[in-house]
Structure formats: structure tokens, C-alpha cells
Amino acid sequence: MLRRLVLFVVVTALLVAGAVWLADRPGDVTIHWQGWRVDTTVPILLIALVLLVAAMEIALRLVRGVVGAPRRWMARRRERRTREGYRALSDGLAAIAAGDTKAARKLARRADKMLGDDSLTGLLTARAAELAGDAGEAERRFRTMLDRPETAFVGLKGLMTQALERGDGEAALDFARRAWAARPGAEGLAATLFDLQAKAGQWAEAELTLAEAKRHGSLNGAERRHREALVLNERAALADAAGDVAEGARLALQAHKADPIFVPAAARAATLLGRMGKSRKAAAVLEGTFRYAPHAALADAWTALAPAEEPLARVKRMERLMRANPQAPESHVALAEAALAAKLWGQARTHLEAAAKTHPSVRIYTLLARIEREERGDEAAAQAWQAKAATAPADPTWVCAACGARTESWSVGCPTCGAIDRLVWHSPGTGLLPVPVQSSSAMAGGSSSS
Ligand SMILES: [Zn+2]
């Protein structure tokens, strides 16, 4: 402010000084030009020159203003459209979060029109199309997102989800793998990629995925270790099938250590160790798992450790397994079966009745009927139990959590729908899942028999 004032004073002083200087030195000027003649004085000429320069400057500005107007108008319009486009983009994403299909589609179209950049509006338009059930449009939009590295990951994930929904595992695996490469260790992707690789039987790749997930910390500990157990258990099965029992036992034992309550790994490890003559170690594995997951497959593996033993010796040995989890229905049933074979009727009946109290099921009443027949030949009493069996809840079995199919034995993929690691041990009688087969649920819930 002060500087401008000083400048003003100085310029005024100079002008006044100049005017005075010119007034003190009068002189005439005569100009001849193209038959014209102008007589004037020097100060008038100077003033005329200054006015001429000022007039030219004003004219130039006017011309510039007229010529530049359309461009400025365009720039303002572009700015307004961009602002409106981003507002539509933001409102559209909010509409999607709120599940408002109609508004989302409308705003997506608006954002598309205003911004004119598919790679910017791809996510909104794709999600809006998805919400409206327009899979083709959604896919096209997700694909446009692959062009920019910033949006490629989301595009690939969207395409992967679409492939999963239409049951195209091969395409889903391809997209999942590319998404994982674009963003290794991405939250929530490791489990899906692992399952897709496992489903395709690519266990080596699945193992690599787990290693990367571990490095990036993108799968929680229990979840990752359970999947490691799945891989090791499959590799153990392959080694066993190839005739390498020692390698099979080693891998199965590793699987058991990765997830100590994963029943299939414990059973396999014990069976293979038993075949190598390492019964003591096998027994320790079974007892350890039975404590938290009292499962029939473990009792079967326990029995198989001494296939030729006397019935009475088997009862004694079964009592030892039962001590690991005395209240579990599987304990009662396994011991009752051993007692039945040894003709220890009273003991068999006691255990079956205890199991029937908490987990009544077909096999328990069928065994009670067998006792009546074999001990006393009491057909009437046997028929009474048989009648109860007819209306009793079904025996516990493996049930696929994805498709609901029931299956006798465990396998990593559901025999019906192929879903990976979705078989859960289900007891229809109580509606409970008496045996946690994954560490995450077991560690949270503790012993299921308590
Ligand atoms: Zn299934």
C-alpha cells in the first residue's frame, strides 16, 4: 500500500517536472505528410502521442476480450461439468451403498456424460449395472477399469466375483491370480485365490499363496494355519497313494501340527504312523485331537492301531481314548461298540443310554436293540428300540455348508458342489455342530463336549 503511494508521488512529481521543463522550452513543429500539413507545438505533439498509444492499448484489449470469450466460456462450462460429474459420481456411490438401484443408474449415466472418462466412472457404472442385474454391462465396465493401474485391481476383483457367480471357476481363478499379482497380499483375496487354486488341484500354487499371505499378513493366523493343514493333508494323501508311507506320515503330522484339531489330518497321521509301527506316537496324535474334537473318525483310527487285539483288550484301550473327552457322545458310542463286541452288556448299555440322553440318534437306538437281541434274545424289547430308531434324528454326518449335501467321509472338496473345505460335522439331533473341525471355531468355543 505504502509502496504504491510512494510510486504515485514519484510518477506525479516526474510528470509535473516534465511539463514544467517542456513549458520552459517552447518550440514549434510542422509535419508534412501525403499533402497534409500540421502546425503545432512540441507539448501538444507529445500529448497527442500519449493519447494515441493509450487508444491503441484500449483497442487491443477490446479485440482480445472479444476473441477470447468463447474459449473462456468453454473453460467455465468444462469446469462446471467436471464439478457436476464428480458430484454425480459421489452421490452415485452413496446410492449404491444404500442399495438404491434406480438412483445409482441415473447418477452413473450422469457422471459418465459429465466426466466423459470411462476409467473414472467405471466402478460406479459397473456397480450400478451389477445392482440392476445387468451382468453384461457390468462386465464391460469392469474391463474398462483394467486400463488404469489405479483401478485395475478393483476391475479384476469385479470380474472375478462375476465369474464366481456364474460358476466359471477357470475364469475366476485367472482374474483372482491377476488381481493378486496387481496387489499381492490384498485383504480378502488370499482365501478366495487359495480356494480356487485348491479346487483346480493346484496345491503347489495354493501353498505359495499361503506363503505370500503370511508375508503380507493378509490371512489371520488360525485361518492360514488351517489352510496349511489342508495343503499338507492333501500332499500326505498323494505321497501315501504313491506308496511313500514315511513321507505321507511326515506330511500328515505336519498338517496335524499346523491345525491340531483338524480331524482328517489327525486321523491320516495316526493311520500312517500306525502302519509304520509307531503306534505310541499315533495314539498321542489321536488323543490330542479327540480332546477338542471328539470325532468318530478318530475312534476308528484308534481301533485300527491294533486290528488283531482281543475284545476285552480293545475295551481297555478305548477307555484310554475316552479319558481324553469323557462326556462326548462319540466317546460313549465308541466305548459301547467295543463293550458290545466283548459282550460287556451292562457297560455297553450304560454308555449308549448316556449318549441317547444328550445326542439321541438312529445308531444309538439300533445298538440298544442289538444288545436286547444278543444278550437276552428279547425280540420285543429290541423292537421297541427299533421303533425309537425309526423316528430318531439322523446320525451325525459331514454336511456341505455350501450346498447342504450330506456325505459319509470327509474330502477337501464337496463331492456334490466341489466347494473347498466346506464340509462340517453335523449332528441333526441337536442341530449343533458337535465337532469343530477347524481351529478357529474350536479355539473360540473350547471343547464342544463341555
Ligand atoms: Zn457342496
Residue 283 lies in a domain: no
**Cα 169 to ligand 1 centroid, rounded to whole Å:** 15
Rounded Cα–Cα distance for residues 82 and 86 (Å): 6
**Cα 392 to ligand 1 centroid, rounded to whole Å:** 25
Rounded Cα–Cα distance for residues 216 and 239 (Å): 30
Our count of domains for the chain comes to: 2
**Cα 331 to ligand 1 centroid, rounded to whole Å:** 28
Residue 11 lies in a domain: yes
End-to-end CA distance of the chain: give it in Å, rounded.
86
74 Cα distance to chain centroid: 46
pLDDT tens for each residue of 365-382 = 999 999 999 999 999 999
pLDDT tens for each residue of 175-189 = 999 999 999 888 889
**Cα 77 to ligand 1 centroid, rounded to whole Å:** 57
Confidence of residue 450 (pLDDT cuts 50, 70, 90): very low
Residue 8 lies in a domain: yes
CA distances from 143 to 132, 171, 195, 197, 417 (A): 18, 14, 24, 23, 29
Say which residue the cell 443408474 belongs to.
105
**Cα 269 to ligand 1 centroid, rounded to whole Å:** 26
Percent over 70 (pLDDT), the chain: 95
Percent over 90 (pLDDT), the chain: 64
Residue 175 lies in a domain: no
From 11, 38, 53, the end of a domain falls on 53
Q: What is the CA radius of gyration of the chain?
A: 43
Residue 140 lies in a domain: no
**Cα 19 to ligand 1 centroid, rounded to whole Å:** 103
Range of the domain at 4: 1-53
**SS3 per residue for 326-364:** CCCHHHHHHHHHHHHHCCCHHHHHHHHHHHHHHCCCHHH
**Cα 417 to ligand 1 centroid, rounded to whole Å:** 4
Confidence of residue 24 (pLDDT cuts 50, 70, 90): confident
**Cα 187 to ligand 1 centroid, rounded to whole Å:** 25
Residue 28 lies in a domain: yes
Residue 10 lies in a domain: yes
Residue 79 lies in a domain: no
